[in-house]
Amino acid sequence: MQTYRLRISPQSAFGTALLGDTFFGQLCWAIRHRFGENKLAELLETYTYDAPFLVVSNAFPTGHIPLPSLPGQLYFDAVSASQRKAVKKQVWLPIEMISQPLNQWQTACETDKQLIDKKNALQPHNSINRYTGTTGESAFAPYTMQQTWYSQAISLDIYLILDEQRISGEDIQTCIEDMGVFGYGRDASIGLGKFDVLEMSGIEMPEQKHANAYLTLAPCAPQGQGFNTSRSYYELFTRFGRHGDMAVQGAQPFKNPVLMAKAGAVFTPSEATSRQYIGKGLGSNGELSKTIPETVQQGYAPVINFHLPTSVE
């Protein structure tokens, strides 16, 4: 499979975080609209059998990846106690640092404010009662929704692992450009989630010598993968998913909740093997949705292969 780096430039506020599993889901809808339902069904036929046609990472500041979720003492040994609070905010690792030893990563990291310069704001909304011509109580009470605004100069990197024997990189880029025009995530119909594709180029992901662990670049489902639990570090969250596009208008737009590990997790296999991604495909056969039984969700994540010292337990 070929690894691509997709670079995008936000053109409006976003109502939904740019996470790999969400981006993959909307990209599936874009494929369906451009190439037809049969093409999408063909691509997803082996998705839950460890044969994905595509694996998508989160969006990261250009040239950076998340710092691994590892015990604090690994990073703080060389930092004074007074500096530790500030250091904890340094969460973005320059990707060229992958070639350096793990204990040097933290000092090279940068903060959200340094790299992204994004602002979160609450946008008021109203629902009008057509009988009274005004707002009211309960379902007609005014409410707010959070939006994320990026600086005009910001670009973001998303990593794609693609099986080009099943669909070409050019076709995937076209579908992503469609997404950028129509908008990504919540409230795309009122202008949110717009972005431009700056480039999509094939790359080789960096890898450390003597790699024996994986750093994930998207939410994933690591269950049943045989990882060494005493040398794996992750933060869990529950994904309360919902259908997108046309399916959001259905009688039951919500999917079954799924437990996942956040990006930046570290998993150690029983035997060191270089891999492009880990995890598994979720859903199909009504497991995620009774409304659309064939629904799947990305539980795969692109990974960086790196060396986790044996002293980290």
Query: Where do the domains of the chain lie?
Result: 2-116+151-306, 117-150
Rounded to an integer, the average pLDDT of 10-19 is 93
The CA radius of gyration of the chain, in Å to the nearest whole number, is: 21
What is the model's pLDDT at position 197? 97
Distance from C-alpha of 212 to C-alpha of 216, rounded to nearest angstrom:
13
pLDDT at 41 over 90: yes
Rounded to an integer, the average pLDDT of 131-150 is 79
What is the model's pLDDT at position 61? 95
pLDDT band of residue 181 (cuts 50, 70, 90) is very high
Rounded to an integer, the average pLDDT of 226-249 is 83
Distance from C-alpha of 55 to C-alpha of 160, rounded to nearest angstrom:
6
DSSP track, 145-212: EEEEE--TT--EEEEEEE-TTTS-HHHHHHHHHHHHHH--STTGGGT-S-EEEEEEEEE-----TT--
Find tokens 């790299």 and name the residue: 115
What is the model's pLDDT at position 82? 61
pLDDT at 114 over 70: yes
75: helix, coil or strand?
Answer: helix
User: pTM of this prediction?
Assistant: 0.89
Distance from C-alpha of 295 to C-alpha of 269, rounded to nearest angstrom:
29
What are 119's strand-pairing partners?
149
pLDDT at 93 over 90: yes
**72: which residues sit within 8 A by CB, 6+ positions away?**
84
223 or 127, higher pLDDT: 223
| pLDDT, averaged across the chain | 88
Distance from C-alpha of 116 to C-alpha of 164, rounded to nearest angstrom:
32
Secondary structure letter of residue 50 according to DSSP: T
